[in-house]
Structure 1
Amino acid sequence: MTRRLAAALAIIGALMLGGCGNDYGIDQDGHKVAAGRLDKQWFVLNYWAEWCGPCRTEIPQLNALAEELKGKKIGVFGVNFDNVQGEELKGASEKLGIKFTVLAQDPAELFDLPRSEALPVTYIIDNKGKVREQLMGEQTAAGVMAKLEELKATN
């Protein structure tokens, strides 16, 4: 009986830990970003800052891209280059009109991303967590979509 109980507890514990995954912290609104939103699917990761003029110009394009990709299991995520947190991150995101999810914790280490000295910079990451493309400078929704389609076709 004790072995069965120990085995059952071990299985339950493993399931509970397995369900945790590699969550990506919280977003600009303080909501948890579950691992399932990024893991095992393609996504676009954009680094921006309030003081970056080209970032401000491309935000509406990224909003349009995020809207276009809804339901296609490809997400658009942002990261604040200056690592602002909490209310400051929420305020900066609102000020720039960002409608896609902004990650409060920079996932650069998880995806082995180099620290860029120029902004904006956008990465396309595949469903295996591999960086497939680094796009420097201001992007358009159509340009990123075309690059996504090209990369997915060669996957």
Structure 2
Amino acid sequence: MSRREPAKLRRGTPPISLRAALLVLLLWSLPSARSLAQPAPDFTLESGQSLVALSHQQWVYLDFWASWCGPCRYSFPFMNTLQAELGPQGLAIIAVNVDVEPADALPFLEKYPAQFPIHYDPDGKIAEAYAVPGMPTSYLIHQGQIIERHIGFRASQAEELKAAIAQHLLKDE
């Protein structure tokens, strides 16, 4: 190797691990909630004995989760709180499980019971329609329009997120 090659490597494209670290740092510094204002892909939910289209809901907090998702353990108690506090104001909480085998979700749900409907998407079609980037990802939907997307979940931001959702509901009154 000549002396020029190492210098050339130093000035060239950084190694993949460094690029990945820089990307993670950049993404970490961005706020995780994004205002989108775009149509929400519609799908039908089983509700007891009947089927209900997502588009027929006024306000929806739609959450994509998986049994192997660590942060989902904390998002479920949060969504139970949303259901209890904001459900009476018209917010419907819907969680979509993306496990390939829906039975894989059962041990998770035994540990972290849901007080809101769980919908299963084992083939990933709904998650694909929403372009879900990771678990958990939630969408605030108003009259069929995505208002915000929130990627990940941090318990330390739960009160702030709940207050933001409550503000959206108040604007609609």
TM-score computed with the length of structure 2 as normaliser: 0.58
Displaced runs of 4 or more, over 6 A: none
Match of 1:108 in 2: 126
Aligned-pair RMSD on alpha carbons?
Answer: 3.1
1:143 is the counterpart of 2:164: no
Name the aligned partner's letter for residue 115 of structure 1: V
Aligned to 2:69: 52
Structure exhibiting the larger radius of gyration computed from Cα positions: 2
State the shift of 1:57 in Å. 1.6
- The letter of the residue matching 2:92 is G
The runs of 5 or more residues in structure 2 that have no matched partner are 1-42
Q: Tell me by how many angstroms 1:61 deviates.
A: 1.1
Gaps of 5+ in 1: 1-21
* 1:10-21 pair list within 5 angstroms: none
- Kept in 1, the 8 Å contact 2:66–2:105? The answer is no
Structure 2 Cα separation of the partners of residues 141 and 103 of structure 1: 23
Query: Any idea what SS the aligned residue of 2:79 has?
Result: helix
1:76-115 alignment to 2 at 5 Å? Answer: 76-85=93-102, 88-105=104-121, 108=126, 112-115=129-132
Q: Structure 1 residues 98 and 151 mapped into 2: Cα distance closer, same or farther (>3 Å)?
A: same
Name the SS for the 1:24 alignment partner. Answer: strand
TM-score by structure 1 length?
Answer: 0.64
Aligned residues: 126
CA distance in 1, matches of 2:46, 2:125: 9
What is the Cα deviation at residue 73 of structure 1?
1.7
Report % sequence identity: 24
- How far does residue 65 in structure 1 lie from its aligned partner after superposition? 0.8
Of 148, 151, 170, 1:133 maps to 148
Higher share of residues assigned strand = 2
Distance 1:136 1:107, change over 3 A: same
Counterpart Cα distance in 2 of 1:38 and 1:92: 28
